Amino acid sequence: MIPRRYRNWVLFWTPFIWLVLELLMYPKDVPLAAGLSAVLKGFFSARIGSYPPWVLVLGALLTAGFGILGLVRKSKARAFSLTLIGIGVVFALWAFLAGGGASGWSAGENVIAYNWVLQTIVVLLGGAAAWLWALGNPERAELTVWNTHQVWKLYRANWQGMVGLGILVFFLSMALLAPFLIDHALLDPNAQITDASGQLLGPYHPPTLSYYNWFGTDQVGQSVLAQFIWSSRISLTVGLLAALMSTVIGAGIGIAAGFYGGWQGEVWMRLTDAFLVIPWLPLAMVLAAAWGQNFFMIIIIIAITSWPGTARVVRSDVLRVRELQFIERARAIGSSNWHIMRKHALPNVMPLIFANLVLVVAIAILSETTLSFLGLGDPLNFSWGTMLHYAWVNGAAGLPAWWYLLPPGIAIVLVVLAFTFIGMAYDEVLDPKLRKREDSGAENRFTARGEAPAVAMGGAGAGGGGGMFTPGQQTDDAMPDFNKPAGGSIGRPEGGGWVGGHIKDDEEGGEE
Amino acid sequence: MSPTKAKAKTKAKAPVKTPVERIAHKGILEVRELTTYFKLGVGDVKAVQGVSFDLEPGESLGLAGESGCGKTTAALSILKLLPENGRIVSGDVLFDGRNLAKRTEYGMSRIRWKEISIIFQGAMNALNPVKETGKQIAEPIQLHEGLSEGKAMVRVKELYDLVGISQKRVMDFPHQLSGGMRQRAMIAMALACNPKLVIGDEPTTALDVMVQAQILELIGRLRKDLDLSFILISHDLSVMAETCDKGVIMYAGEVVESGTTADIFNNATHPYTRQLIKAFPNIHEKREMVSSIKGDPPNLVSPPPGCGFCPRCDERIASCEAEHPEMVEVEAGHFVRCVHAEKGV
Amino acid sequence: MDKRRYFVRKILNAVLTIILVASFNFALFRILPGDPARLLLPKGKQPPEAVEKQRKTFNLDKPMWQQFGLYWGDTLRGRFGMSFSEKRPVTEVVAERIWPTVLLVGVGTIFATVVGMILGVFAGWRRGGAYDVVTTNLGMVLYAMPTFWFGLLMIMLFATKLRWFPTGRMEEPGVELHGLAYGQSLLRHLFLPAFTFAIAYVGEYELIMRSSITGVMKEDFALTARAKGLSENAVLWRHVVPNAMLPTVTIVMMNLGFVMSGAILAEAVFNWPGLGLLSYDSMQKRDYPVMQAVFLIASIAVIVANLIADIMYYYLDPRVHA
């Protein structure tokens, strides 16, 4: 039987994910005033789930691939593998239809009326797959539940982590619910807002209690609140996607550099070092100026300028894992490199990669804001950086139109802070050394002032503004229940030392 | 560097004696019912609970037990070097007629190193890696005796001779010295101000066996020559047997057995002591599997009401779990905390 | 490792990286989509003769390997071509912009380092106390703050509202000042940009110093120092801080290389006529030769700063000699 808690997860997350996907592509042109039925109809509009076909092809390949792999390897959960293949088939059909059907398959998007039906089927099948996986692997499901619960218990005890999570949930909800909060039509260049009597408010009108004018108006008399709410979508999306891409590149190269010692590792390391010294902003300016201004470019620019930090951190962690005894044992009994990497090294490095990802999101959001501020952003879509750009070039600081400058800036600070807090809290949960005092506290004379243990200096030395780091914090607030051993297999004994470890790390790499 | 001179000096400026401090003393150090707690989020860790022992001038005492049993905390409590979350809850530490447990931080800083010094585990970290070793040794001399650095360095060189390091190495950084030399430097540092009492906290643990023997030999010789009182903290009973006159065995924050080293080794009475002794290989006897003590020590946040050792004890009886045994004198000067001893074994 | 081997290795490493970065710079303008000859011309009307001429000047008509050789020849001799917007050699345009940037960055860095380190030392020393909680969270907010936004707020508050400082530029336009008056005006103009530039680093250095201090305080030698009878202050300043400085100094040096990013933002917001403003302006005018030169200079600055950090570390930490 599958664990009760796991069952609850599936029952909760499947509809939740469905809802999020619905909201993600909810039509922007349904005015709030149109009434309940129109708003509800929006949930079944053709725009829902109208992803570009290449995304669907990728989804089909990944799910079907994993399913077939599971069948070939005769994994325990046969039904799970079959469901995955089923998802792949639905994706393939979806891609085929979205690409224009048999008459002309194209890479462009072709809006079909029943996108949302296909999306619902995929989500439901996904839920079923999760269910079947747990049926096939009850012990692993049990372990996953237990581990997650432990992590959450430790995480919950960290006030900074919880504050970060709260801020993030707030802004994510704002971004997802944007269509229901304020009309997208207000971003139209001609959509100046009016006061209660229908009078135009005009440029740079200070905030009033009228909803559209909560944050005042900009230089042409548009609602700053509307820009603010819709900007959160772009800022968060670009940040998340860029961080994801950067982490995939960085982690891949870091693992390769750490795992293959000798000249191969050395080559990867040299490459990383070369990218690490490239000043990111001048490069990004050159690229953005040459490649044109849209968010896809910005994501790529941020990704290729911020991966080396991740690569360094991951590499040093892989080096640590490689020396662990069980890896040597696996090598001794003749396991292949690929097997060791997949089964032993990756699970050990994965938590670090995730913690790092969260921190890179913070950097990516800052980077996006910076590029947009310099006028390199997408002129057609608002992000908080774009808002600040317009505020700057139109002299909001000289007026001073504080209502135009403050909201986007504060939002950026809060979101960046939230991701930093979350990353730090998660890092602390992972690293028993960060939170655990010695059991008796007695022999612990290393803590000269009885203070909570050291600080993880693992972080992404991202190209921009120097380095990202994970500053320490009041571990006292997060004192876990130390009667229990620290969370199962999630432990990560040593952070990838970036700060201070930098030179020693270099030595190590060089002598190999 | 004569110890008598140092003694006379401290006597001359002995502090004003309050009634608490006037408690009559027989030895140089007398620890009475010392209790130290660490404050943690989940509650107090009762690291040391009612520990008592005493030390005559020139005597050496071994404090042994597994890691986490509170032996280091007991030693750090004597000097009040506890971490910020640690505090002495009750008990007295009578040193040379003064009650250290009641002394202020400033008062303690006059006593630290000048009268009681510590040899820490000789690993790299007890010495500051970015300062020359000699200068680190000179530091307490300058501080407590008001000498200039030049004069202090002359003394450091003498100390280097005494512990057997070449004088040329005074300006070496710690990492340039070998493990054994670092430990010798640490000993030289401990002797810098002619203390009356030296505490050795696992002074030989990180060293290999040959160097261990040399260091122990050096400590033994210096102890005799300088007439030092010495407390050795070790998890290694054989080291204790070789160096100490008296022994105190601790378990879970309490003293479970104390007496002369001979008492403890020839007539071990507490089951824990016996198992500890068995846990060490004896090269003179027939080879056997070294036995280890199964199980873990109890949680010190909420210690069990009965005997702390009883879950791991082979000789437990029904009452062990509920009743806390008292210290019983089984023979003159030999105390044991066990229900079997109470019944008069 | 002996001294010479250490230095030689570090220097070789730096030279190798410079070669890599310069090659990247070469490739950058040739792998970009579009005709590099057109890219290297101002946007708008691009008569074929001008494109041809451009192709000649930048040797774009020759085979790739030959271009690569010629590029190196030019780079080593400091020839970066002509700036479109200024119609002057790039070298000349860049040269006159270096000193304002050095001034801004130098003052800003010194301020950030001193303030950040001192804040961090006390936060780490009294860890968990009210002071620590306040400064640490403040440090994190400063770190999370976009530099340019802070700059705009500064202008709004101190230049527009209070009128204590000018909104930008290095000197009043149309006013000739000399001697002391000039220095005073320069300082007044320098204050806001330098402060803005420094503020993000203050947060960063504070956090690094703090965690460094807490790490060092847990080392055994801190306890040894206390056991020796040293006062709390003596333990902190004589034993803990010298050790805790090592990682911080390294990071300050490494960050020095990345000043370009901070300088671009601070200079753009405050119209400070340095390299940062130059690269922002040339980006807007698509003045590629200038951007290319600035990019190369910025990269080399990073590498050199790293090299200096390595060398400093050698002298600061005796353990590296081992």
Q: Which residue has the higher pLDDT, A410 or B69?
A: A410
Task: Give a yes or no: residue C111 inside a domain.
Answer: yes
Confidence of residue B27 (pLDDT cuts 50, 70, 90): confident
Q: How far apart are CA A440 and CA B48, in angstroms?
A: 10
Q: Which residue has the higher pLDDT, A346 or C12?
A: C12
What pLDDT, on the 0 to 100 scale, is given for residue A446? 26
Confidence of residue A396 (pLDDT cuts 50, 70, 90): confident
What letter does residue A52 receive in the DSSP assignment? Answer: -
What pLDDT, on the 0 to 100 scale, is given for residue A38? 83
Which residue does chain C place closest to B136, by CA atoms? C225
Does the CA dihedral A43-A46-A50-A56 come out positive or negative?
positive
Question: Which residue(s) pair with B331 in the sheet?
Answer: B334
In angstroms, what separates the C-alpha of B92 from chain C's closest C-alpha? 20
Buried b (16+ CB within 10 A) or exposed e, A325-358: eebeebeeeeeeeeebbeebbbebbebbbebbbb
Task: Give a yes or no: residue C11 inside a domain.
Answer: no
Choose the most confident range, by mean pLDDT, from B132-141, B237-246, C309-318: B132-141
What pLDDT, on the 0 to 100 scale, is given for residue C121? 92
Question: Rounded to the nearest 10 degrees, how much is the dihedral formed by the CA atoms of A468, A473, A479, A484?
Answer: 20
Task: Give a yes or no: residue C212 inside a domain.
Answer: yes
Task: Give a yes or no: residue C12 inside a domain.
Answer: no
Q: For residue C254, list chain A residues with Cβ-Cβ distance below 8 A.
A: 466-467, 502
Instruction: Mean pLDDT check: name the lowest of B300-304, C58-62, C123-127, C309-313.
Output: C58-62
Percent of chain A with pLDDT over 70: 81
Percent of chain B with pLDDT over 90: 3
Confidence of residue A361 (pLDDT cuts 50, 70, 90): very high
What pLDDT, on the 0 to 100 scale, is given for residue B76? 87
Per DSSP (E only), the strands in chain B are: 29-40, 43-55, 60-64, 86-95, 98-99, 116-119, 197-201, 229-234, 246-251, 254-260, 327-331, 334-337
The count of structural domains within chain C is 1
Q: How far apart are CA A249 and CA A353, in angstroms?
A: 11
Confidence of residue A506 (pLDDT cuts 50, 70, 90): very low
Flag whether pLDDT at B15 surpasses 50.
Answer: no
Which residue does chain C place closest to B107, by CA atoms? C229
Average pLDDT of chain A is: 75
Choose the most confident range, by mean pLDDT, from A51-65, A333-347, C178-192: A51-65
pLDDT digits (tens, 9 = 90+) for C52-80: 777 777 667 777 788 888 888 888 887 77
Burial of A209 from C-beta contacts in 10 A (0-12 / 13-18 / 19+): exposed
> DSSP assignment of A220-249, as one string?
TS-BHHHHHHHHHHHHHHHHHHHHHHHHHH
Over range B301-312, report the average pLDDT.
Answer: 82
Size of interface B-C (CB pairs under 8 A): 76
Q: Which residue has the higher pLDDT, A379 or C93?
A: C93
Flag whether pLDDT at C223 surpasses 50.
Answer: yes
Flag whether pLDDT at B55 surpasses 60.
Answer: yes
Question: Which residue(s) pair with B335 in the sheet?
Answer: B258, B329
Of A397, A408, A472, nearest to C214 by CB-CB distance is A472
What phi and psi values does residue A454 have, to the nearest 5 degrees? -60, -175
Flag whether pLDDT at C147 surpasses 70.
Answer: yes
Average pLDDT of chain B is: 81
pLDDT digits (tens, 9 = 90+) for A484-502: 222 222 222 222 222 222 2
What pLDDT, on the 0 to 100 scale, is given for residue C107? 92
Contact C208 A446 (CB under 8 A): no
What pLDDT, on the 0 to 100 scale, is given for residue A46? 78
Task: Give a yes or no: residue C173 inside a domain.
Answer: yes
What pTM does this model have?
0.77
In angstroms, what separates the C-alpha of C238 from chain B's closest C-alpha? 10
Average pLDDT of chain C is: 82
What pLDDT, on the 0 to 100 scale, is given for residue B43? 78
CB of B333 closer than 8 Å to CB of B263: yes
Flag whether pLDDT at C155 surpasses 50.
Answer: yes
In angstroms, what separates the C-alpha of C235 from chain B's closest C-alpha? 11
What pLDDT, on the 0 to 100 scale, is given for residue A204? 78
Of the residues B73, B87, B234, the best mutation for testing chain A's interface (the one with the most A CB atoms within 10 Å of its CB) is: B73
Alpha helices in chain C (DSSP H): 3-31, 36-39, 48-57, 64-76, 90-125, 130-144, 147-154, 179-217, 220-227, 232-234, 241-257, 259-270, 275-284, 288-316
Contact A467 C255 (CB under 8 A): yes
Confidence of residue B329 (pLDDT cuts 50, 70, 90): confident
Q: How far apart are CA B238 and CA B38, in angstroms?
A: 30
Q: How far apart are CA A452 and CA A436, in angstroms?
A: 8
Flag whether pLDDT at B321 surpasses 60.
Answer: yes
Restricting to C residues 272-291, those with a Cβ less than 8 Å away from any Cβ of A are 279-280, 283-284, 286, 288, 291
Confidence of residue A84 (pLDDT cuts 50, 70, 90): very high
Of the residues B130, B169, B175, B176, the best mutation for testing chain C's interface (the one with the most C CB atoms within 10 Å of its CB) is: B130
What pLDDT, on the 0 to 100 scale, is given for residue A440? 28
pLDDT digits (tens, 9 = 90+) for B135-185: 888 988 888 888 888 888 998 998 888 888 888 888 888 888 888 888 888
Flag whether pLDDT at A413 surpasses 90.
Answer: yes
In angstroms, what separates the C-alpha of C134 from chain B's closest C-alpha? 20
What pLDDT, on the 0 to 100 scale, is given for residue A111? 64
Of A439, A447, A481, nearest to B83 by CB-CB distance is A447
Question: Rounded to the nearest 10 degrees, how much is the dihedral formed by the CA atoms of A11, A16, A22, A28?
Answer: 160
Q: For residue B128, list chain C residues with Cβ-Cβ distance below 8 A.
A: 221, 224-225, 239, 242-243
Contact C251 A289 (CB under 8 A): no
Cβ neighbours of residue A268 closer than 8 Å, sequence gap 6 or more? A253, A256, A257, A260, A311, A315
Which residue does chain B place closest to A157, by CA atoms? B41
What pLDDT, on the 0 to 100 scale, is given for residue A103? 62
What pLDDT, on the 0 to 100 scale, is given for residue A475? 31
What pLDDT, on the 0 to 100 scale, is given for residue A324? 74
What pLDDT, on the 0 to 100 scale, is given for residue A83? 92
In the sheet with B60-64, reading across from the earlier edge strand, the strands are: B116-119, B197-201, B229-234, B60-64, B246-251, B254-260, B334-337, B327-331
What pLDDT, on the 0 to 100 scale, is given for residue A508? 34
The β-bridge relationship of strands B197-201 and B43-55 is: unpaired
Size of interface A-B (CB pairs under 8 A): 64
Q: Which residue has the higher pLDDT, B319 or B293?
A: B319
Question: Which residue is associated with the tokens 């960290």?
Answer: A158
Restricting to C residues 224-263, those with a Cβ less than 8 Å away from any Cβ of A are 226, 246-247, 250-251, 254-255, 257-258, 260-262
Over range A285-304, report the average pLDDT.
Answer: 80
Which residue does chain B place closest to A448, by CA atoms? B83
Confidence of residue A397 (pLDDT cuts 50, 70, 90): confident
What pLDDT, on the 0 to 100 scale, is given for residue A328? 75
Flag whether pLDDT at B326 surpasses 80.
Answer: yes
What pLDDT, on the 0 to 100 scale, is given for residue A460? 29
The β-bridge relationship of strands B116-119 and B197-201 is: parallel
Choose the most confident range, by mean pLDDT, from A434-448, A458-472, B311-325, C95-109: C95-109
What pLDDT, on the 0 to 100 scale, is given for residue B242? 81
CB of A363 closer than 8 Å to CB of A371: no
Question: For chain B, which chains pass the contact test of at least 3 CB pairs under 8 Å?
Answer: A, C
What pLDDT, on the 0 to 100 scale, is given for residue B167? 87
Task: Give a yes or no: residue C285 inside a domain.
Answer: yes
Of C220, C224, C243, nearest to B130 by CB-CB distance is C243
Flag whether pLDDT at C141 surpasses 70.
Answer: yes
Flag whether pLDDT at C317 surpasses 70.
Answer: yes
What pLDDT, on the 0 to 100 scale, is given for residue A473? 30
Contact B143 C228 (CB under 8 A): yes
In angstroms, what separates the C-alpha of B212 from chain C's closest C-alpha? 20
Q: For residue A397, list chain C residues with Cβ-Cβ distance below 8 A.
A: 152-153, 155-156, 159-160, 167
Q: What is the CATH number for C134?
A: 1.10.3720.10
What pLDDT, on the 0 to 100 scale, is given for residue A432? 55
Q: For residue A279, list chain C residues with Cβ-Cβ distance below 8 A.
A: 257-258, 260-261, 295, 298-299, 301-302
Q: For residue B125, list chain C residues with Cβ-Cβ distance below 8 A.
A: 219-221
What pLDDT, on the 0 to 100 scale, is given for residue B290? 56
In angstroms, what separates the C-alpha of A477 from chain B's closest C-alpha? 8
A157 touches chain C (CB under 8 A): no
**Tokens, residue A227:** 């820009």
What pLDDT, on the 0 to 100 scale, is given for residue A14? 92
A261 touches chain B (CB under 8 A): no
What pLDDT, on the 0 to 100 scale, is given for residue C3? 77
Residues of B with a Cβ under 8 Å from any C Cβ are 79, 81, 108-114, 117-118, 120-121, 123, 125-131, 139-140, 143-144, 173, 175-176, 189
SS (H, E, C) B53-70: EEECCCCEEEEECCCCCC
Instruction: Mean pLDDT check: name the lowest of A14-28, A364-378, A451-465, C14-28.
Output: A451-465
Confidence of residue C43 (pLDDT cuts 50, 70, 90): low
Flag whether pLDDT at A1 surpasses 50.
Answer: yes
What pLDDT, on the 0 to 100 scale, is given for residue A26? 85
Which residue does chain B place closest to C219, by CA atoms? B125
Contact C224 B140 (CB under 8 A): no
Of the residues C101, C211, C319, the best mutation for testing chain A's interface (the one with the most A CB atoms within 10 Å of its CB) is: C211
Instruction: Mean pLDDT check: name the lowest of A82-91, A444-453, C172-181, C253-262.
Output: A444-453
**Tokens, residue A93:** 């059909």
What letter does residue C240 receive in the DSSP assignment? Answer: I
Instruction: Mean pLDDT check: name the lowest of A126-130, B207-211, C205-209.
Output: B207-211
Flag whether pLDDT at A463 surpasses 50.
Answer: no
What pLDDT, on the 0 to 100 scale, is given for residue C1? 53
Task: Give a yes or no: residue C271 inside a domain.
Answer: yes
pLDDT digits (tens, 9 = 90+) for B105-119: 888 888 888 889 988
Q: For residue A474, list chain B residues with Cβ-Cβ distance below 8 A.
A: none
- Residue C155 is part of which domain span? 88-321
Task: Give a yes or no: residue C18 inside a domain.
Answer: no
